[in-house]
Amino acid sequence: MSPTTARIIDANFNRAREAIRVIEDYARFVQDDPAGCEAAKRLRHALAAAYHRLPVDELLAARDTPNDVGTRISTLSEQSRTDDADVCVAACKRLPEALRTLEEYAKTFDPQVAAAIEAIRYRAYDLEQRVTLRAPRSARFAKVRLYVLITADLCKNDWHTTAADAIIGGAGCLQLREKNLDDGELLARARELAAICHQHEALFIVNDRPDIALLADADGVHLGQTDLSVADARRILGPQRLVGLSTHTPEQFRAALAAQPDYIAVGPMFQSTTKPQEHVPGPALLSLALRETEIPIVAVGGITPANLRTLANVGGKCVAVCSAIIGKDDVRSACAGLLGGPT
C-alpha cells in the first residue's frame, strides 16, 4: 500500500465510521427504534472488523491532517442542516460514498478486503432504507406490550367486537390468523380488521400472507418457518412495512437475526391449547433472545396471567396471546390481567 493510498483508506474509514455513528444515534435517540439501532451497530462492528484486517499502524502513520487540502474546502450546504432527519439523510448519503472509495482503493492491495467492504456497502443501503422508511412502524412496534391474535372461531363473542375491545383493553398490535379461509374471504376480513386497527391506532399484522397484507393495507406480515423468506416478503410488501418471524430453537433464532426481520417471535413459552407443540423451548429461549439482540422479541405460546411473571423475570416485555384474550367474555379485563392491571 502506497502512502497516498494509505491516506485515502484512513480518511474514508474515519468518514464511514462517523457516518454510521450519526445514523445509529438517530435511530436510537430520535426514532427510538431498537431494530434500526442494532442494524447500525452491527454495520459499525463489521466495518471495524474489516479495518483490523489492514496494517493499522501504517494507516495512522500516513495520516497528515495539517497538510490535507481537503480540510480547508467546504460548502455552505455542509454547514447547514434543517432538522434531525436532514442530519441522518446526509450521513446515509456520505456512508456509501466513503465505502465505495474504500472498496475501489482496496482493490489495489487486497481484493478480499475490497469484497468485504462491498458487502458492507450493500448493507449500508439497507440501513438507509430502514431509518428513512420503516422506522416509524418499527418504533411503534417496539412499544407494544400485548399482541393479540384474532381467529374468529376462537372468539367467545363477535370477532369485530373482540378486536375492538382488545385494543381498548391495551393491545398495541393485532394479528389476523386465519388458516382455513378462501383468499377472497381472507382479504375481506383483513380489510375489515385493518379498518378497526387503524381507527383505534393499533398496528395490524397478517399471518403468513404478505400479498394479503399489502392489499389490505396492513402494517406488516408475520411469517413462520415454512413461509416465504423475510427477503421475499419484503419484495412483495415494499420497504415500509413490518416483517415478523417465528422461531422455536436457538438455531432458528440466530438464523432469523441474519434475515433481519423487524421483530422475532420466540416460543412456545408454555404448552398451548390453541397450537399444541411437541417441542416447548420455554422461557430459556426468551432469555437467550433478549441477551443476543435489541430487536423487539415477542414471547408466544400458552401465556396466561398465572405464568406471566416467569417471563417478566427473564426480561420479557411483549407477549402474544390468542385464547387467553379472545376466548374470554370480558376481553378488556382479560387484557388488563395480562398487562398487570386490575382484573
Residue 175: name the closest of 239, 243, 227 by CA. Answer: 243
Q: What is the CA radius of gyration of the chain?
A: 23
Please tell me the total number of residues recorded for the chain in this structure.
343
Cβ–Cβ under 8 Å, residues 146 and 339? yes
Which residues belong to CATH 3.20.20.70 in the chain? Answer: 144-338
DSSP per-residue codes, 244-287: EEEE-SHHHHHHHHHH--SEEEE--SS--SSS--S---THHHHH
What is the pLDDT, as a whole number, of residue 1?
85
CATH topology of domain 144-338: TIM Barrel (3.20.20)
What is the pLDDT, as a whole number, of residue 341?
47
Contacts of 151 (CB under 8 A, 6+ apart): 177, 178, 274, 322, 326
**Residue 183 has which C-alpha cell?**
383468499
What is the pLDDT, as a whole number, of residue 278?
80
Question: Along the chain (343 residues), what's the average pLDDT of each consecutive run of 10 residues?
Answer: 94 97 95 90 96 93 80 67 92 97 96 96 93 84 96 97 98 97 98 98 98 98 97 94 97 94 96 77 97 95 94 96 96 94 40
pLDDT digits (tens, 9 = 90+) for 277-304: 788 999 999 999 999 998 999 999 999 9
pLDDT digits (tens, 9 = 90+) for 202-249: 999 999 999 999 999 999 999 999 999 999 999 999 988 999 999 999
The model's pTM: 0.83
Cell numbers 412502524: residue:
137
Taking the CB of residue 107, how many other CB atoms lie within 10 A of it? 14
What is the pLDDT, as a whole number, of residue 169?
97
Cell numbers 387484557: residue:
335
Cβ–Cβ under 8 Å, residues 65 and 12? no
Report the distance separating Cα 172 and Cα 249, nearest Å: 26
Contacts of 53 (CB under 8 A, 6+ apart): 110, 112, 113, 116
Q: Between β-strands 146-150 and 173-176, what pairing exists: parallel, antiparallel or unpaired?
A: parallel
**Residue 236 has which C-alpha cell?**
412483495
Residue 244: name the closest of 176, 316, 337 by CA. Answer: 176
Report the distance separating Cα 1 and Cα 108, nearest Å: 8
Residue 172: name the closest of 133, 140, 220 by CA. Answer: 140
What is the pLDDT, as a whole number, of residue 343?
36
Report the distance separating Cα 232 and Cα 229, nearest Å: 5
- Confirm or reject CATH 1.20.1260 for domain 3-134, answering yes or no: yes
Q: Please tell me the number of Cα atoms within 13 Å of 50 on its side-chain side.
A: 29
**Residue 317 has which C-alpha cell?**
416485555
Q: Between β-strands 318-321 and 173-176, what pairing exists: parallel, antiparallel or unpaired?
A: unpaired
Residue 238: name the closest of 132, 133, 141 by CA. Answer: 133
Report the distance separating Cα 52 and Cα 48, nearest Å: 6
Cβ–Cβ under 8 Å, residues 34 and 295? yes
pLDDT digits (tens, 9 = 90+) for 221-230: 999 999 999 9
What is the pLDDT, as a whole number, of residue 73?
64
C-alpha distances out from residue 98 to 22, 23, 293, Å: 14, 14, 28
What is the pLDDT, as a whole number, of residue 64?
82
Amino acid at 126: D
Look up residue 132 and give its DSSP letter.
Answer: I
